[in-house]
Each structure stands twice: as C-alpha cells, then as structure tokens.
Chain A
Amino acid sequence: MPHQKHPADPSAQPSESADAAEWRRSIELPSERGASRLIMEQLLEQLGVHGWSPSDIFAIHLAAEEAIVNAIVHGNKLDPSKVVQVACVVSPTLARIEVTDQGSGFDPASVPDCRLEDRLEAPNGRGVMLMRTFMTRIEYSPRGNRVLMEKQRSPAEG
C-alpha cells in the first residue's frame, strides 16, 4: 500500500496559519470617479475582521481614499485608457496600501502646507497632508506616481 500522508499531518498541505492572519488583495481600478469603492468595502471589512479600532479604521480609510482619488484624478487625469493599481495587506498589527497610477508623477514636496496662514482658506491641498498624518509611514516612488503607506496598529487605549 502506497504511503499516504495523514490529512492531519501539517506537511500534507501548505500551512494556512500565516495566510489566515494576513489578508492580501491587489486590484486594478478604472480611472473613474468613485472607483475606490471597488476595494474600499473589502478593505474596511478586513480591518474590522483583524481587530483594528474604529479610529484606526477611520484613519486608514481616509488615507486610502485620498491616495486613490489623487491617483485617479491628478495622476491619471481620469484618462479611461489608464488604470490605478491598488495592493493591500492587512494583518492584526499592520496595514499596508500601495497605490500606483500611470501618470507622470508629482513632487510631494511641492504641495504647499495647507496649515500656513495664507493657505488656510484654500479649498485644496489637504489630502496629502492627512495621509501623512494618519499613517505611520508614507513613501513615494522617485517619479511620484506610486505611494506606499503603512499604519502600525495603535496601542490599545486606556
């Protein structure tokens, strides 16, 4: 009788423990207004499943929304022939979102600080700063058409 691995033998199948603790999803979004909803619902759901607090979920939601809208509107300039790549990883301690557009990029340092007295009442230019404040780490590719954002789970309150 040929040797058969017992189904309970952990070597019989790939370990799922690491996968179960981490959710990954990559998606291509069309360059249309409102396209972020194609990923946002799942992202928010997974943050909840992985035990993130409502205020952390709010922060990640805001940063992801701003990054995707920037990629669609400012990066791809709503060009229907271009797409936005979004890659998400959610674990109980880390959320990582990478957003890449097919535009010519931008220099994040060129966005004026909206908190300056003479910029306070300007209606635009707050998205990038909110992303920076709400996430633990934020990094742009040299061309500026890709942003990688990470948030570490905040310590439990109280």
Chain B
Amino acid sequence: MATHRRIDVSKLGDVTIVRFLDKKILDEAGILELGAELFGLVEQDNRKSLLLNFVGVEFLSSAALGKLITLDRKVKSNKGRMKMSNIRPEILEVFQITKLNKIFDIRKDEAEAISAFA
C-alpha cells in the first residue's frame, strides 16, 4: 500500500475514511501531492466507498477544489461512491458559491456519512 504524506487513511467496514493532514490546503506542490494520493486510492487501491472527513481543515483554495472534482469523477467512473463530512461553515460556503454542493454528497459528520453508505 502506498505511503501517504497529505492524508490519513483508515477503514470502517467497506468505507475508506480519509482525513487531511494539512490545516490549510493551498500550497500548490502540496495540492499536487494530495491529488496523487487521493487518485491512488481509486486507481491503484480500487476503493469503492470513500469518505473525505474535513475535520481540522481550515482553508482550501480553488486548486484544491479542482482535485476534489477530479477525484469525484474518478470515483464515479470506477462505479464507486464518495461522501464528505465535517466541513466548517466557511468552506461549506465556498462549495455553495461554486455550486459544488450539487455534485458532492455532503454530510454533517462522519457517523451520518457512514450510515449514508449503507
């Protein structure tokens, strides 16, 4: 299994839970690395149920949004499902402004997201 520097990956049943290690996701080199690690979960590890838990994430830039959109597409084309949880209000507003809340399945917390996979 690949080593990860930007994310912490755990499993609960069939669901792969991803937490972000950076409080601020804005450094471009970091975002490239983050993208590669996230895509690897789908493309190499073939994970079908992904939960991105944003606890602790205070900031993300539009470049990071781009990676999340690409990840969502990869998950869907791999016939998997992706959900997000624990998003702080300011970041939720970013998702709402850009209407990404229409394509992402956003849940309040990890428990709610996990049960939504059932």
> Who on chain B is nearest to A124 by CB?
B66
| 5 A-B pairs in the complex with CB atoms less than 8 angstroms apart | A34-B29, A65-B26, A73-B28, A124-B62, A126-B62
Which residues 96-125 of A sit at the B interface, judged by CB distance below 8 A? 114-115, 120-124
**Cα A68 to Cα B100 with chains together (Å):** 23
Question: B73 to A66, Cβ gap below 8 A?
Answer: no
Our pick among A54, A58, A130 for the contact of B98 (Cβ within 8 Å) is A130
Say which one of B1-9, B13-21, B45-53, B89-97 lies at the interface with A: B89-97
Give residues in B with beta carbon < 8 Å to A: 26-29, 58-59, 61-63, 65-67, 69-70, 72-73, 89-90, 94, 97-100, 102-103
**Count class of interface residues, chain A:** 20 to 34
- Looking at A34, A66, A121, A129, which has the most chain B CB atoms within 10 Å of its CB? A121
Question: B62 to A127, Cβ gap below 8 A?
Answer: yes
A-B CB pair tally, cutoff 8 Å: 59
Our pick among B58, B62, B67, B102 for the contact of A120 (Cβ within 8 Å) is B102
Given the interface pairs A129-B97, A129-B98, the reply to whether A58 lies near B59 with Cβ below 8 Å is: yes
Q: A61-B59, A122-B69 are in contact. List 19 more A-B contacts (CB 8 A).
A: A33-B29, A34-B27, A54-B90, A55-B90, A58-B59, A58-B90, A114-B99, A120-B102, A121-B103, A123-B66, A123-B67, A123-B69, A123-B70, A126-B66, A129-B97, A129-B98, A130-B94, A130-B97, A130-B98
Shortest distance from the beta carbon of B48 to any chain A beta carbon, whole Å:
20
